[in-house]
Amino acid sequence: MIDPIVLEVIRCKLEAIANDGAKNIKRTAVSPAVADSGDCSCAIYDASGALLVGGGAIVIHFHTGSNGVEKILELHGDTLAPGDVFMVNDPYSGGGFHAQDVYVHMPIFAEDKLIGWVGCSAHMMDMGGSVLGSFSPDATECYQEAFRFPPVRISRNGEEQGDIWAILRNNIRLPDLVEIDIRSLISGCYVTQQGIIKLAEEYGADTLAEASADLIRLTEVEMRRRVELLEEGEYSFVSWSEWTEENFKVPCTLTVRDGKLTFDYTEASPQSSHYFNSKPYVITSLLGVQVGATLGYDLPLNEGTFKIFEVLCRPGSLLDAQPPAPIGAPHLDVGMNASEVGMHTLNLAIAASPNSTARARMSGPSAGSGITNHTLTGIGLNGKPDGWLMLDGGKVGTSAGHDRDPGDTFYEGLGNGAATELVDVEVVESWYPILINRRGPREGLNGAGMFRSGAGMSMEYVVRGTDGLSMTLMGNRERVPIAGLGGGLPGAVTEFHIRRRDGSIDPLACHQQGIPLKEGEGVLIDCASGGGWGDPLDREPAMVEADVTDMRISAEDAQAVYGVIVGDVRSTTELRAQKLRERLDRAQPAVKPLTWTADLRLAAQGAPAPLYVGVEQHGAVAISTRSGAPLAVSPDSWTDGCPTIEHFVESSSDVNVVAYLDPGSGHLLAVDVRLEGAGRSFNTAPKRWTEAKAA
Give the pairing type, strands 113-123 and 644-645. unpaired
Specify which residues 317 forms β-bridges with: 270
- Phi, psi of 85, rounded to the nearest 5 degrees: -135, 130
Helix (H) or strand (E) holding 498: strand 495-499
What confidence tens digit (pLDDT) does each residue in 502-524 have?
999 999 999 999 999 999 999 99
Between 47 and 409, name the one with better pLDDT. 47
| pLDDT above 90 for 391 | no
Q: How many CB atoms lie within 10 A of CB 46?
A: 23
pLDDT at 7: 96
Query: Using alpha carbons only, what angle is made at residue 381 by residues 375 and 386, rounded to the nearest 5 degrees?
Result: 35
Whether residue 633 is contained in a domain is answered as yes
Does pLDDT of 652 surpass 70?
Answer: yes
Write the DSSP symbol of residue 465.
S
Regarding whether 525 and 465 lie in a shared domain, the answer is yes
Name the pLDDT band for 695 (thresholds 50, 70, 90): low
Query: Is residue 564 one of the residues assigned to a domain?
Result: no
Q: Are residues 247 and 193 in the same domain?
A: no
Which amino acid belongs to residue 651?
A: S
DSSP H or E segment with residue 334: helix 333-351
- 504 Cβ contact partners less than 8 Å away, ≥ 6 residues apart: none
pLDDT surpasses 80 at 419: no
Gap between the Cα atoms of 419 and 39, Å rounded: 8
**pLDDT of amino acid 395:** 87
Residue 571 included in any domain: no
Helices (H), 268-317: 280-295, 303-306
Q: Does the residue 574 lie in any domain?
A: no
Q: Which of 533, 555, 574 is the last residue of a domain?
A: 533
Same domain, 357 and 368: no
Domain match, 285 and 274 both: yes
Residues 506, 654 within the same domain: no
pLDDT tens per residue, range 120-165: 999 999 999 999 999 999 999 999 999 999 999 999 999 999 999 9
Whether 24 and 169 map to the same domain: the answer is yes
Render 62-127 in DSSP notation, one character per residue. Answer: TTHHHHHHHHHHHHHGGG--TT-EEEE--TTTT--SSTTEEEEEEEEEETTEEEEEEEEEEE-S--
Q: Does a structural domain hold residue 555?
A: no
Shared domain check, 258 and 357 = yes
Nearest to 102 by CA among 81, 116, 86, 118: 86
| pLDDT of res. 182 | 98
| Main-chain phi, psi angles of 187, to 5 degrees | -60, -45
pLDDT attached to residue 514: 93
| Residues paired with residue 260 on neighbouring β-strands, in sequence order | 257
Domain that holds residue 658: 583-690
The proportion of the chain whose per-residue pLDDT surpasses 90, expressed as a percent, equals 92
Does residue 538 sit within a domain?
Answer: no
**Cβ neighbours around 680 below 10 Å, total:** 17
Q: Is the pLDDT of residue 272 over 80?
A: yes
- Does one domain contain both 593 and 484? no
Query: What single letter denotes the amino acid at residue 451?
Result: F
pLDDT category at 244 given cuts 50, 70, 90 is: confident
**243 and 347 in a common domain:** yes
pLDDT at 694: 65
Strands 495-499 and 621-624: unpaired
Are residues 3 and 208 in contact, defined by beta-carbon separation less than 8 angstroms?
no
d(CA 664, CA 515): 53
pLDDT at 416: 76
pLDDT at 475: 86
CA distances from 265 to 231, 253, 566, 656 (A): 21, 7, 46, 23
Count of domains forming the chain = 4
CA distance 532 to 486: 8
Task: Examine the domain organization and report whether 293 and 254 are in the same domain.
Answer: yes
Domain finish residue from 493, 513, 533: 533
Per-residue model confidence as pLDDT tens digits over 572-600: 999 999 999 999 999 999 999 999 999 99
Give the pLDDT band of residue 693 (cuts 50, 70, 90).
confident
Q: How confident is the model at residue 41 (pLDDT cuts 50, 70, 90)?
A: very high
Q: Please provide the average confidence, as pLDDT, over all residues in the chain.
A: 95
Return the SS3 of 240: strand
Q: What is the pLDDT of residues 321-366, one digit of tens each?
A: 999 999 999 999 999 999 999 999 999 999 999 999 999 989 988 8
DSSP for 37-54, written as a single string: T--EEEEEE-TTS-EEEE
Are 491 and 352 contained in the same domain?
no
Compute the C-alpha angle 194/29/474, nearest 5°.
120
Looking at 160, 188, 203, the residue that finishes a domain is: 203
> How many Å apart are CA 179 and CA 186, to the nearest integer?
11
Closest CA to 289 of 415, 473, 191: 415
Say if 573 falls within a structural domain. no
Length of the chain: 695
Burial class (CB in 10 A: 0-12, 13-18, 19+), 558: buried
Tell if the pTM clears 0.85, that is, is over it: yes
Residue 28: other Cβ atoms inside 10 A: 18
Nearest partner of 452 among 401, 391, 513, judged by Cα: 401
Partners of 645 in the β-ladder: 659
With a cut of 70, say whether residue 426 has pLDDT above it. Answer: yes
Whether 572 is covered by a domain: the verdict is: no
State the CB neighbour count (10 A cutoff) for residue 540. Answer: 12
Q: Are residues 323 and 380 in the same domain?
A: no
Q: Where are the alpha helices (DSSP H) in 510-586?
A: 541-549, 555-562, 569-586
H/E stretch holding 511: strand 511-518
Residue 654, class by beta-carbon neighbours within 10 Å (0-12 exposed, 13-18 middle, 19+ buried)? middle
Q: Largest Cα–Cα distance in the chain?
A: 84
pLDDT at 409 over 90: no
Please, what sign has the CA dihedral across residues 132, 136, 138, 142?
positive
Strands lying side by side in the sheet with 668-675:
644-645, 655-661, 668-675
